[in-house]
Structure 1
Amino acid sequence: MVVVRACRVLRFPGRLTPSDLEAAAEPVRVEIGEQALRGIRDCRAYVDEVVASGRPVYGATTGYGSLVGYHPRPDPAEQSQGLVDFLATGQGEALPPAVVRAMLLARTWSLAQGRSGVPPSVVSALVDALATPLAPVVPEYGSVGASGDLTPLAHAVAALMGRGEMFVGATRLPASVALERAGLAPLTLAGRDGLALVNGTSLTSAAAGLAGARALRSVAAGLALSALLAEVLGAGHEFTSERLLRAAGHRGGIDAAGYLRERLRGATPSGRRPLQEPYSLRCVPQLAGAVLGAARQATEVVTTDLNGVSDNPLFFPGEGEVVHGGNFFSQPVAFAADLLSIVLTQLANLAERQLDLLMDPHRSNGLPASLAAEPGRQHGLTGVQITATAIVVAMRRAVTPAAMQSIPTNQHNQDVVPLGTQAALSAYEQARKLRWVQGSLAVALRQAVHLGGREPGSAAGSELLARLAERVDPVDPDRPLDVDVRRAAGVLDELPTAPLAG
């Protein structure tokens, strides 16, 4: 049997946040309020009434996509099943289970708003799955972010029906076996259930939401590392001046400088550094502040999307309306996700240059070259720097915007597409890579102090250095450091972000 641990409770109606998406990596309990359940039931009854009247309803009385002018199968259940079948064509590596579970949570939130015409049993099936550790196996490629994330969601729906595969932790099992072990009955479809389940941008908004949450932690990590770098080098703190940043006027920069000042409280400059530091230190409030502002803006767009209804058509029983349109088109999130990819890459540029500053004895107040305990006999963090550089280059290459890479498909039914899914998954991947670059800088700072760099005088810097020292030993003699970089990244994940949430 699948063991379910204690889980977070999410209540609908309520505002879904990127933090909730992260929580869904583990079992979560979603509670749907009675009024919302009534709305779901009423909408389903209205859909049945409209279809019975002979009124045309896309996907219920018609074929799908470019075949809208053709008649559907007489049996609505077979029509729904056929939709899942012909869309389950994804290719590539399986998406991380945390992303897939976040996608299911986002789809639950959309359907629970009672505009899609599914019965409560469909919403309950998603809720029940989220309360377990299960995650459908969903291939990476298949969506252009228009008409919803059709193919990824079709694979997820198929798994909930007992077809395909599911992850239970790191184990990959036939979906039927995983459902049985979790005590879940396979999902059954009727009416337009299949279309309602796949016709939304839930993967796009979920992946972008996870990237947005990660971006906030990355800003906190970048600022904390910059403050520690200033202490290790003995740099002055003038670059964090509140008056300076308020004169510029950008809220992100003001908040970033405030975060730096708080972390530098108690620190004392050495007086031995140049009047003006390199931009990789002097301009941190401006750079990280711009990242912070952009991340906040992008996350606001994504959060709006998470709490909207993504489907077509939408049903409004109280007004007696069926409205056909394009609420499956992921353009807002596509732009937001591309912005996240860009700003995350600039944080990686900053961390890599700060790492280089520490490695160069001519700019580091005489720290040993390459942070080696015995330069020449040992090579310190040479390999770490080369790998960090390679990761930054990979991030730069991946940052090409996706949101305007439109290409027609589906016999020109989808003649302009936003490619939001690829934009969102790229942002999610950029966030993952940035952790490694910032982890590399963290290892370098720990090594710099070991080799004679100034001990931090601030409480925040001392605490961060102590936590790094607990997980990363000094490099003397040389040893493989791949695991150390990931351990250091884990320390950075634990830094406080509340002052930056905005």
Structure 2
Amino acid sequence: MTIQVDLGGPLRPSDLLAAREPITVTTGPAVRERMAAARVFLDKALGDDRAVYGATTGFGALVGYAGRTDQRDQADNTLAHLGAGQGPDLDPALVRAALLVRAWSLAQGVSGASPHVVDALTAMLATTFTPAVPRFGSVGASGDLIPLGAAAQALRGRGHAYVDGERLEAAEALRRTGIKPLTLDGRDALALVNGTSLTTAALALAQAGVRRSHRSAQLLTCLLADQLGCDPQFLDPRLIGRFHHPGVSAVAASMRATLDGCVPSGERPLQEPYSIRCSPQLLGAAEDALRYVDNVVEADLGGVSDNPLLFPDDDAVVHGGNFFGQPASFAADLLTIVEAQVGNLVERQLDLLVDPHRNGGLPPMLAAGPGRQHGLQGVQLASTALIAEIRRDATPASMQSLPTNLHNQDVVPFGTQAALRALDQAGLLRLLCGSLALGLRQAAHVGARRPSSHGCETLLAALEQAVPPIDPDRPLEADVHICARTVEDIEISLISGS
């Protein structure tokens, strides 16, 4: 079923996730009326010889100079000088999400963009056409200029684009999908590029991925504790209530629901290692941080990122900095810290699980025949490499400001870098969760006890159905992905206790 998104309503992270495939994007009469009104007002302002950045002026540090008099010429001028991106192409799914965000922002009717620009974006999103956009070039201020410039050029038939996953000359890609090349004037061109839509999309997609892994980590921690025979008193509501952090209380309640019915073996130490005993405090702090990021994503998706903004009712063209992606930059850096610490937890839990001195006597590396077989040894090595990669990239980007553009952009947030990195690391965190899930499945094969709680037994049964035991050794890269997906598919119903 094709997803439908109405630009007259709120934009949600789920809409961005759906945009990886063709979607139907609609603009109702109210959207078209407000865009048309802003366009009429823009024409009036230009007729009155008002200064309107990007329409009558040069760009960035050259704002003090007159722009080109022909507005189509001005559009060429806008986009040509931004053709400086480098590096590999971004994931087409991310590019499509970014252009959905841009369409929503323009549809609010305060940018002065022509209605046909939004029509072109919605027509593109209904097909598999996706501009080829280079990764490097944005500093997350004055909008994601260079990446969005590449997207705008592709819609004009310049540069490259993907159709059904095939990289083509943009003109050929337009022809194959039946999309007409986009025509622009100076204000249209600037409105397409002068916002942080790529940063917003990357942050929203990263947040969605980390949310899934955060829930997976809760479930897997419960299954680990149950299989080892741990006493679940570390989740006692009296204990947790005295800690007085809302995220910790919420996570502990979810974990208690999953572990409901768990019976301790009586053979474990009085106090478990921190990777089990302190898991609700760690994952709960992550929950509080994720709630902050949720709020930033919601605000970004509900805001207009552009300059200048037009207010016809007030007869005003207002110039300012609504293209400055500092909120998303702070949020993305916080998200990367969450990824690193949740990843640390999951990797340490896997290390505990494969260690016969701490796992209750299970064979080393959970090998079915140690020496003749090696069980999780390769997966654990890879997990160590994954968490090292996440930790190495956890230095905040939002504090790395460098002046550029003749000091017109003398402070920049680097939100694009922060958000793209958070999105990268979300994928690695997912693999760490998949690795632990595979280990828990193997533990059941080599002698771990069956879970005593219904929720954990349900999860283990799903993992056992998804992948066979490691006996004998085999390549496991695909199994890690399968296990990650299995936990994601089952986790919502288990965490809610339904």
TM-score normalised to structure 2 length: 0.97
Opposite residue 174 of structure 1, the aligned amino acid is E
Opposite residue 301 of structure 2, the aligned amino acid is L
Mark the runs of 5 or more structure 2 residues left unpaired by the alignment.
none
| Secondary structure at 1:389 match in 2 | helix
| Secondary structure at 1:192 match in 2 | helix
Opposite residue 353 of structure 2, the aligned amino acid is L
Opposite residue 18 of structure 1, the aligned amino acid is P
The residue number in structure 2 matching 1:276 is 271
Q: State yes or no: 1:31 paired with 2:23.
A: no
2:83 aligned to which of 88, 97, 101:
88
Instruction: Please tell me whether the aligned partners of residues 54 and 186 of structure 2 are also in contact (alpha carbons under 8 angstroms).
Output: no
The residue number in structure 2 matching 1:138 is 133
The residue number in structure 1 matching 2:301 is 306
The residue number in structure 1 matching 2:322 is 327
Distance of 2:102 and 2:165 partners within structure 1: 23
How far does residue 163 in structure 1 lie from its aligned partner after superposition? Answer: 1.4
| Secondary structure at 1:124 match in 2 | helix
The residue number in structure 1 matching 2:435 is 440
The residue number in structure 2 matching 1:222 is 217
Distance of 1:33 and 1:265 partners within structure 2: 49
Distance of 1:474 and 1:169 partners within structure 2: 36
Distance of 2:231 and 2:130 partners within structure 1: 50
| Secondary structure at 2:81 match in 1 | helix
How far does residue 231 in structure 1 lie from its aligned partner after superposition? Answer: 1.0
How far does residue 497 in structure 1 lie from its aligned partner after superposition? Answer: 4.2
Opposite residue 462 of structure 1, the aligned amino acid is E
Distance of 1:463 and 1:72 partners within structure 2: 65
Distance of 1:469 and 1:163 partners within structure 2: 50
List aligned pairs for 1:175-186, cutoff 5 A.
175-186=170-181
List aligned pairs for 1:287-366, cutoff 5 A.
287-366=282-361
How far does residue 462 in structure 1 lie from its aligned partner after superposition? Answer: 2.0
The residue number in structure 2 matching 1:285 is 280
Q: State yes or no: 1:418 paired with 2:413.
A: yes
Deviation sequence 1:310-348 (CA, Å, 0-9, x none): 001100001101100000000011000000000011111
1:245 aligned to which of 240, 249, 254:
240
* 391-400 vs 477-486, which moves further: 477-486
How far does residue 490 in structure 1 lie from its aligned partner after superposition? Answer: 1.6
| Secondary structure at 2:24 match in 1 | strand
The residue number in structure 1 matching 2:250 is 255
The residue number in structure 1 matching 2:388 is 393
Distance of 1:299 and 1:134 partners within structure 2: 29
Distance of 1:115 and 1:490 partners within structure 2: 41
Opposite residue 475 of structure 1, the aligned amino acid is I
Instruction: Please tell me whether the aligned partners of residues 217 and 495 of structure 1 are also in contact (alpha carbons under 8 angstroms).
Output: no
| Secondary structure at 1:129 match in 2 | helix
The residue number in structure 2 matching 1:482 is 477
Opposite residue 214 of structure 2, the aligned amino acid is V
Opposite residue 395 of structure 1, the aligned amino acid is I
Instruction: Please tell me whether the aligned partners of residues 221 and 495 of structure 1 are also in contact (alpha carbons under 8 angstroms).
Output: no
Instruction: Please tell me whether the aligned partners of residues 125 and 187 of structure 1 are also in contact (alpha carbons under 8 angstroms).
Output: yes
How far does residue 186 in structure 1 lie from its aligned partner after superposition? Answer: 1.1
1:50 aligned to which of 45, 50, 62:
45
List aligned pairs for 1:440-479, cutoff 5 A.
440-479=435-474
How far does residue 374 in structure 1 lie from its aligned partner after superposition? Answer: 1.2
| Secondary structure at 2:317 match in 1 | strand
2:193 aligned to which of 190, 194, 198:
198
| Secondary structure at 1:87 match in 2 | coil
Distance of 1:135 and 1:488 partners within structure 2: 30
The residue number in structure 2 matching 1:8 is 3
Distance of 1:437 and 1:176 partners within structure 2: 41
Deviation sequence 1:243-266 (CA, Å, 0-9, x none): 221211111111111111111123
Deviation sequence 1:14-73 (CA, Å, 0-9, x none): 221222211111122122221121000000110111011101111111101111111111
Opposite residue 418 of structure 1, the aligned amino acid is P
List aligned pairs for 1:51-130, cutoff 5 A.
51-130=46-125
Distance of 2:162 and 2:391 partners within structure 1: 32
How far does residue 236 in structure 1 lie from its aligned partner after superposition? Answer: 1.0
| Secondary structure at 2:67 match in 1 | coil
How far does residue 160 in structure 1 lie from its aligned partner after superposition? Answer: 0.9
Opposite residue 247 of structure 2, the aligned amino acid is G
Distance of 2:184 and 2:122 partners within structure 1: 16
How far does residue 78 in structure 1 lie from its aligned partner after superposition? Answer: 1.1
| Secondary structure at 1:140 match in 2 | strand
The residue number in structure 2 matching 1:3 is none
Opposite residue 84 of structure 1, the aligned amino acid is L
Opposite residue 391 of structure 1, the aligned amino acid is L
Distance of 1:495 and 1:50 partners within structure 2: 56
Deviation sequence 1:85-118 (CA, Å, 0-9, x none): 1102111111111110110011011101001001
How far does residue 495 in structure 1 lie from its aligned partner after superposition? Answer: 3.6
The residue number in structure 1 matching 2:374 is 379
RMSD: 1.3
Distance of 2:414 and 2:292 partners within structure 1: 20
Deviation sequence 1:393-449 (CA, Å, 0-9, x none): 010001110001000111111111000000000110110010111111011000000
| Secondary structure at 1:410 match in 2 | coil
Distance of 2:363 and 2:252 partners within structure 1: 30
| Secondary structure at 2:94 match in 1 | helix
| Secondary structure at 1:38 match in 2 | helix
Opposite residue 138 of structure 2, the aligned amino acid is S
How far does residue 459 in structure 1 lie from its aligned partner after superposition? Answer: 2.6
Instruction: Please tell me whether the aligned partners of residues 220 and 495 of structure 1 are also in contact (alpha carbons under 8 angstroms).
Output: no
Distance of 1:246 and 1:50 partners within structure 2: 60
Instruction: Please tell me whether the aligned partners of residues 352 and 359 of structure 2 are also in contact (alpha carbons under 8 angstroms).
Output: yes
| Secondary structure at 2:119 match in 1 | helix
Opposite residue 62 of structure 1, the aligned amino acid is T
Opposite residue 458 of structure 1, the aligned amino acid is S
| Secondary structure at 1:457 match in 2 | coil
Instruction: Please tell me whether the aligned partners of residues 217 and 497 of structure 1 are also in contact (alpha carbons under 8 angstroms).
Output: no
* 281-290 vs 165-174, which moves further: 165-174
Distance of 1:82 and 1:459 partners within structure 2: 64
1:151 aligned to which of 139, 143, 146:
146
Instruction: Please tell me whether the aligned partners of residues 212 and 299 of structure 1 are also in contact (alpha carbons under 8 angstroms).
Output: yes
Instruction: Please tell me whether the aligned partners of residues 41 and 120 of structure 1 are also in contact (alpha carbons under 8 angstroms).
Output: yes
Instruction: Please tell me whether the aligned partners of residues 210 and 429 of structure 2 are also in contact (alpha carbons under 8 angstroms).
Output: no
Distance of 2:227 and 2:159 partners within structure 1: 53
| Secondary structure at 1:494 match in 2 | helix
* 467-476 vs 281-290, which moves further: 467-476
